[in-house]
Structure 1
Amino acid sequence: MVRKPVVSGMFYEDNADKLSSQIEDSFHSEFGPGKLPSKKRTREIFGVISPHAGYQFSGPGAAWAYREIAESRPADTYVMLGISHSGFPSCTSLEDWETPLGTVKVDKAFQAAFMERSGLKQDETAHSQEHSIEVQLPFLQFVNKEYKDQLKIAPIIISEEQRCKEIALSIAETIKQTGKKAVIIASSDFTHYGMNYGFFPFQDNVRENMHNLDKGAIEHIKSLDADKFMGYIDDTGATICGRLPVAAAISACRILGAKKAKMLQYYTSGDITHDYSSAVGYGSLVIE
């Protein structure tokens, strides 16, 4: 079985040529890196944090994260950490994933080793309607065109805070056990502000306040401190939807030897639309 895309034609173009153009435009856009990645793949990274909204909003932010992947050594496995917007528990997927750019294979050997360590189960229903991992894949395919036949992913949904550290440890130990060159991709947007999201702790200077709120969280990500990151969210109420994938990613990368994360880009949907009555923050970071 193959997991079919559920948000193509909505979050991103459902035609391969149009989708490739849309991704290229994200790299060249005002909030993107301004150019396509170089062809040199010499860097070593542990992971990235990338947003997961419609490409007209999150695409430029994602382009920053995938530029880092494009310029680093190709991974044997990309460990994809997402959330369940529908409330499913933490789980894995063993099906290959289809996008308009082709099919991405799941690293079943990695998943089997991870599932044995973590106790997580396969749940294709949970993954079938969830967009947080899906929207990452066209970018991953785009920057790995020359390696498309070798491209493999390990999709994991993380839903329970009490299991986050355990899952992070299992990811790190599985990477060590399998001896694979792995890059961890955490899928998350940042603060969701406005009546649509039930979060409006400030009414004035919304742009400045959103930037400041999210950058407070980003400071803890930069120091790879998952406890302080989660504590900051508890203290401020910041509506960072992928907080668990982010916390797991920085924890796992730290175990594997990462020293820091670097912010690449941050902006909000309001910075694009100039409407801050309902806005979402998009941050991109690389873990080194």
Structure 2
Amino acid sequence: MKEEIKKFTIFALITAMFFIVGSCSKKSKGDLTNIRGLADTVGFSMTKKQIEAVVKRAEKVEGDSLIAEKLLLKDPWIAGICPHDDHVYAGRVYVHLLHNIKAKRVVIFGVGHKAWKWGVRDKIIFDDFDYWRGPYKPVPIMRELRKQIISKLDTSFYLVSNKYQSQEHSIEGIVPFLQYYNRKTEILPIIIPYMNWTRMDSIANALSEIISDIVKNNKWKLGKDIAFIMSTDCVHYGDDGWGGKNYAPFGVGEKGFKAAVDRDYYLCRNFLEGKIDTSKTRKFLYTLVDKDLYTYKITWCGRFSVPFGLDFLYHLSADFNREPFSGKLLRYATSYDLGRLHIKLDKPGITAPRSLRHWVGYCAVGYK
């Protein structure tokens, strides 16, 4: 009898151990029910069929310029700037950056379009999801990286909100392309709301120190194992469909269109290309926004996400004792001149019109 009890006890212990190990293993992969919903169910490709139709058509239309780009690029981008507008408008620009993001781990700095409504400023915003939706399968969040960052970052520098992250679309639009090019992609989404340069530099510097330590401890290679993306659309232009606001300082005819495009090119060439420099990045921030932070000077929605990301990259390069990363403008275009990408599907669709009275600029910039 004692022998039977002993055998039963051993069996029970082994069973319990398997259960515990299984539970821990399951937990380490995350909870598939803790998945972020979609903010935009119209403009983005959220099925395998949709993203494949968009990318294949975009790459075909871009043709020789994209082929030449692929031949010239020897190393993957460490970081980049990418649009987040409707895929059938901006898809031809997305592909110029994202085909050469090879790292499976990608930190994405997004826009806080509704930060004024949330009443949030001076803090970067994380979420607490385990997964985001992707066209092929759920996209894992780099939960361990997020956990380490949050444990070390000054609590006044961040907040965690699934609500805010669920209402923001600027990161969501990039994810399908990342997963198309790399099925193993994992992301860390971070929203950048209103903040002045001093605050921005403090948070970006602190974040770069934490991430650089993690990268070094894990022996990851920049560009190969981890990459960084800043989300923005360029100028939002016109006098129609902007909530009653007039965003057409040069007028709405062909001359106004050309003047606004020329200004976007100037911004890209002077602030985004070449070596990242803090004085240049600071000047870029205050070229886009008034010092009250809430008033646009030029209507780029990534007026905080891009300067923050550039400043983060500047400090990251210093943490690795290397020259500042250098940017290259890969593609610039607008919803007006690109028109709608022709795919044989009803979705993705469009969330806004395109005309001389309502159009948006897009840029793709790579850094290494």
Q: TM over 0.5, yes or no?
A: yes
Q: Is the 8 A contact 2:58 2:95 kept in 1?
A: yes
AA aligned to 1:243 is R
Match of 1:202 in 2: 250
Q: 2:286 aligns with which of 218, 222, 231?
A: 231
8 Å contact kept, 2:98–2:181: yes
Q: What is the TM-score with the length of structure 1 in the denominator?
A: 0.88
Q: TM-score, normalised by structure 2?
A: 0.70
What is the CA distance between 1:82 and its match in structure 2?
Answer: 0.5
Of the three residues 48, 60, 79, the one matched with 2:107 is 79
How far did residue 229 of structure 1 move? 0.9
Provide the C-alpha distance between the structure 2 equivalents of 1:31 and 1:270, rounded to a whole number of angstroms.
Answer: 20
2:267 pairs with 1:221: no
For residues 126 and 31 of structure 1, what CA distance do their matches in structure 2 show?
38
Q: Which whole-Å CA distance do the structure 2 matches of 1:190 and 1:158 have between them? A: 16
2:178 aligned residue (140, 146, 164): 140
Choose 86-95 or 102-111, whichever is displaced more: 86-95
Question: Which of the pair has more CA radius of gyration?
Answer: 2
The residue number in structure 1 matching 2:313 is 253
1:173 corresponds to 2:228: no
Answer whether contact 2:47 2:134 (CA < 8 A) is retained.
no
Deviation, structure 1 residue 12: 2.3
Report whether the alignment pairs 1:122 with 2:160.
Answer: yes
Identity %: 23
Query: Quick one: distance in 2 between partners of 1:124 and 1:138?
Result: 20
Tell me what 1:6 maps to: 39
Q: 1:32 Cα deviation (Å)?
A: 9.3
1:35/1:42 CA distance change after superposition, 3 Å: closer
Aligned with residue 25 of structure 1, among 44, 57, 62: 57
Partner of 2:47: 15
Note the C-alpha offset of 1:58.
Answer: 1.2
Letter in 2 for 1:155: P
Aligned counterpart in structure 2 of residue 187 of structure 1, from 219, 231, 254: 231
Give secondary structure in 2 for the equivalent of 1:12: coil
Please tell me the root mean square deviation across aligned C-alpha atoms, in Å. 2.5
Specify which of 286, 295, 302 is matched with residue 242 of structure 1. Answer: 302
Alpha-carbon distance change, 24 to 37 in structure 1, aligned in 2, over 3 angstroms:
farther
1:57-96 correspondence to structure 2 within 5 Å: 57-70=89-102, 74-75=103-104, 77-87=105-115, 88=118, 89=120, 90-95=124-129, 96=131
Structure 2 residue aligned with 1:160: 194
CA 1:31–1:217 in structure 2 vs 1: closer, same or farther (change >3 Å)?
A: farther
Change (3 A) 1:171 1:56: same
CA separation of 1:243 and 1:118: change in aligned 2, threshold 3 A: farther
Count, aligned residues: 279
Pick closer, same or farther for the CA change 1:99–1:259 going to 2, 3 Å. Answer: closer
